[in-house]
Structure 1
Amino acid sequence: MRAVAPAPGIEAPGSAFSPLAPSPAQLGGSPPRWLYAGRDPARAITIEDLRAMAHRFLPDFALGYLEGGAEQEQTLARNLAALAAWRFLPRALVDVSHRSVSSTLFGRPVPIPVVIAPTGLNGLFRAGADRMLAEASAAAGIPFTQSTMSNMAMEQVRAGLDDLRHWWQLYVFGPPEVQEALVARAEHAGCEALVVTTDAQIFGDRSWSSHHFVSPGRLTWRSLGGAALHPRWLAATMLRRPGMPAFENIIEFVPKEHQGFYDSAFWVRDRMDKALDWETMRRIRALWPRRLLVKGLVRPEDVARAAEIGADGVVMSDHGGRQLDSAVAPLEMLPEARRLVGKGFTILVDGGIRRGADVLKAIALGADAVQIGRAALYGVAAAGAAGVTRAIAILTEEMDHTLGLMGATSLAELSPDMLAR
């Protein structure tokens, strides 16, 4: 829902709020409830507030890319439904005066079990968005995963952020020399982990986003006109560079005649390695000396196979509902995957994480951590690095609060028997 101007009498001039759907606590919409959609990230109470701020800031074509899913968006909806299907079974009469939501990931402490997911084309939301995500991650002490299709060079993202847990996400495209060059570059840049995405070799049918284009890479007049009505977005993106962003990490592999923003994206998309298989993963494992995660798995047996070939972990993911529609949610397959690989293998899960309670449900079902994509992007679109920092703080506050209400003092106490379907 797009943010709208406040109704008379709801808030002082200069603020902007967006109406919420009816709640069981309301009678005919009374009392009114609103999402904050102004400019101050400190006033965002929930991730949905940051989302409303992002909707006010971004033009429709950028929102279409950010929010859209594949085809009828059933997978997108399923991710949220899978989280909502689980209910807490709180323990009573437990001393929860001292609580911690910290954990460890690959032997290193993290204040919360959250990793910023790899997302591409972030320059559409703000110039330097990749760096903003990295800065907020470093300040919070959580890993940041940079996408192959990010808009800043990995060395530029990392520069000066000595404490950043920098992970690199690899799309397997083009001849083997391209993959080898990117892997070597990530190693030289000091990236802690390599995350190989496996579910994007064929591009998902994102028809809602496609409606903003008259042809591949060419916006409709309506979309162009809508963008012109967002001067703050223009100032933070097109006017700051100036012009459209570039894919700095892969542009050297793209022919000069295809190096425009959308043209280069389509060029890479057409050259994704559709023969990607387990043997390719074994070859990448041999190339990379540090932590290796395989991303895009939902079948438990595939998680077990990733462990067998020497991966250090997996990201159970459906690409945010943007690839295969009518698919199961990764969360639904998580308990069986954990049963197959045991406790010693790292499993991350993503898909619809918007609340601290969502994180705790995933941990209770067997995840070591979660990845957040849209939740972080709402923050960066809303207010840059400060917005991402606020998103992380919101999740941390909600996790701590919910943990106490569950009758637990640490994440180690969470288990499937604290949930019910």
Structure 2
Amino acid sequence: MPRRQLPNPKDVFEYLQLRRPQLGRAARLRKALTIADLRAIAKRRTPAAAFDYTDGAAEAEVSIRRARQAFEDIEFHPDILRPAEHVDTSLEILGGPSSLPFGIAPTGFARLMQTEGEVAGAGAAGAAGIPFTLSTMGTTSIEDVRAANPNGRNWFQLYVMRDRDASYDLVARAAAAGFDTLHFTVDTPIGGNRMRDTRNGFSIPPALTLRTVLDALPRPWWWFDFLTTPKLEFASLTSTEGATVAELIGKVFDPTISYAELDTIREIWPGKIVVKGVQTVPDAVALIDRGVDGIVLSNHGGRQLDRAPVPFHLRPKVVREVGADATVMIDTGIMNGADIVASMALGAKFTLIGRAYLYGLMAGGRAGVDRAIAILRSEIVRTMTLLGVSSLEELEPRHVTQLTRLVPVD
């Protein structure tokens, strides 16, 4: 038994570490150690309708749950006695550099989540040395995104609209602003049934009702920002007053687009073009055979067709058919740097984050997006170090096993 004694006051003072209390945005974000932590902060600080627009998915939200579960159901196989003291996370993608193996995906209506919106995302991406993708449904103009990220890589995501001239004008403006890659999105012929939005009475722009006013009471800072900044509207669309997202998509987007529209856009777009929303192996093969610069395996974050294929599960089949050299990217469900490492090990050339970025935006504007990127970067570096790999090129399929829950019935 240890010998007991009265505490020595000198020792007690050595143990005491009194720190000045830290309050405000910086302290709040510093406590966030994961994207899930940022999500929790975002939920506290954002009205329900705006938060659920970001957080929710279509129908019963099966697709997004499966996508996230797929990343949890992996097993890593680290190499031992192979020091990875200096980890290089940089790569070349679509003709240019990225300091990390992920970029910011196109997400609509970002100023709804927090008034800094796409400007915060573009600025943070530029500072981190990763691409930023502006959505057709963005709330910041092409030119303003360019101003926010003048020296970084900007990509533009295109929905082909019924008004073809308006679509072509957006393509021309993005090219003139120096955007180097266009994401031609093909999974949105109509809007998905996003039931959280319906239940919340969500509309564009948000309507002030008794419910939204009551929801605003514990979040006065959000409403102060909302009411004291420029009117919330789409930068590339008009005539959206009082519409739900599904109504807007039905009114503006063209559900009849085909390969003919893709060919037309390829003729007028001078940069790289990738097709986003690919969900089957035959479609992936057909697109690569037609010479597109890349494809994004995506089910739109589970926000369109519920029970759609899980992109992470689809990826190995696609890579086998199109070849290891084809540019196959992946999004949907990425919430941890380890998800990104696993995707790269199993053949993806790049990944995109959507909700992870928006949780940071809602949690703290530009600083919150910086924090989200920093969290993912640290998780990527730590995972690679523990695997014993010093660069992305060293990642191989042998480093990852996909454990199986969903097995197709023959």
Name 2:165's counterpart in structure 1: 177
Q: How do 1:14-93 and structure 2 match up within 5 A?
A: 40-93=28-81
Preserved contact between residue 168 and residue 194 of structure 1 (Cα < 8 Å): yes
In the aligned structure 2, how far is the partner of 1:343 from the partner of 1:298?
18
Say if 1:346 and 1:46 are closer, same or farther in 2 by CA, change over 3 A. same
**Of 367, 386, 389, which residue of structure 2 is paired with 1:386?**
367
Question: Over alpha carbons, which structure has the higher Rg?
Answer: 2
After superposition, what is the alpha-carbon deviation per residue over 1:106-129, rounded to whole angstroms, capped at 9, x for unaligned? 232221111100000111112231
Aligned to 1:168: 156
- CA separation of 1:14 and 1:396: change in aligned 2, threshold 3 A: closer
Counterpart in the other structure of 1:146: 134
SS of alignment partner, residue 40 of structure 1: helix
Corresponding residue number in structure 2 for 1:285: 266
Q: Secondary structure at the match of 1:87?
A: strand
Task: Please give the TM-score of this superposition, normalised by the length of structure 2.
Answer: 0.88
Q: Which moved more, 1:101-110 or 1:382-391?
A: 101-110
Residue 77 of structure 1 deviates from its aligned partner by: 0.3
Q: 2:311, 2:191 → 1: CA distance?
A: 19
Looking at structure 2, the residues matched to 263 and 400 of structure 1 have their Cα atoms a distance apart, in angstroms, of 41
The reply to whether residue 226 of structure 1 matches residue 218 of structure 2 is no
Give the alignment of 1:249-398 within 5 angstroms. Answer: 249-251=236-238, 258-260=239-241, 262=243, 266-398=247-379
Q: 3-state SS of the aligned residue for 1:71?
A: coil
Q: Which amino acid aligns with 1:402?
A: T
Name structure 1 gaps, 5 residues minimum.
1-11, 17-36, 252-257
CA distance in 1, matches of 2:151, 2:327: 22
Contact 1:213 1:219 in 2 (8 A): no
1-structure distance, mates of 2:278, 2:44: 34
Cα shift at 1:270: 2.0
**Aligned-pair CA distance for 1:413:** 1.3
CA–CA distance in structure 1, aligned partners of residues 50 and 148 of structure 2 = 30
Deviates more, 1:266-275 or 1:190-199: 266-275
* CA-based RMSD: 2.3
- Give the CA deviation at 1:232: 1.0
CA drift at 1:267: 3.8
Aligned to 1:167, the other structure's residue is in SS state strand
Cα distance in 2 for residues equivalent to 1:297 and 1:122: 24
Query: Contact (CA 8 Å) 2:106, 2:135: kept in 1 or not?
Result: yes
TM-superposition CA deviations, 1:357-401 (whole Å, max 9, x none): 000011011111110000000111111111111111111111111
Number of residue pairs matched? Answer: 383
Structure 1 residues 417, 324: closer, same or farther in 2, change over 3 A?
A: same
Q: Is the 8 A contact 1:214 1:220 kept in 2?
A: no
- 1:281-323 Cα deviation digits (max 9, x unpaired): 1121112111001000121221121112221011111111111
- Kindly state the Cα deviation for residue 268 of structure 1 after the two structures are TM-superposed: 4.6
Aligned letter for 2:266? R
In structure 1, the residue matched to 2:8 is none
Q: 1:223, 1:397 → 2: CA distance?
A: 37
How big is each residue's C-alpha offset from its partner over 1:162-205, in whole Å with a ceiling of 9 and x where there is no partner? 21201011011113222211111111111111111111111100
Contact kept? 1:172, 1:273, Cα under 8 Å: yes
In structure 2, how many angstroms separate the alpha carbons of the residues matched to 1:149 and 1:357?
30
Matched residue type, 2:65:
A
Kindly provide the amino acid, as one letter, of the partner of residue 233 in structure 2. A
Cα separation, 2, equivalents of 1:38 and 1:404? 28
5+ residue gaps, structure 2, are 1-19, 404-410
Aligned letter for 1:167?
W
State the alpha-carbon separation in 2 of the partners of residues 98 and 400 from structure 1. Answer: 9
Distance 1:228 1:14 in 2: 25
Task: Output the CA distance in 2 between the equivalents of 1:238 and 1:329.
Answer: 39
In structure 2, do the counterparts of structure 1 residues 47 and 284 end up closer, same or farther at CA, with 3 Å as the change threshold? same
Residue identity in the other structure for 1:107 = G
TM-score of the aligned structures, taking structure 1 as reference length: 0.86
- Contact persistence 2:190–2:249 (CA under 8 A): no
Q: What one-letter code is carried by the residue in structure 2 that aligns with 1:269?
A: G
Rounded Cα–Cα distance in structure 2 between residues aligned with 1:307 and 1:264: 31
Percentage of identical aligned residues: 37
Q: 1:263 to 1:91 in 2, by over 3 A?
A: closer
Amino acid at match of 2:225: A
Query: In 1, Cα distance between the equivalents of 2:150 and 2:308?
Result: 39
Partner of 1:237, secondary structure, is: helix
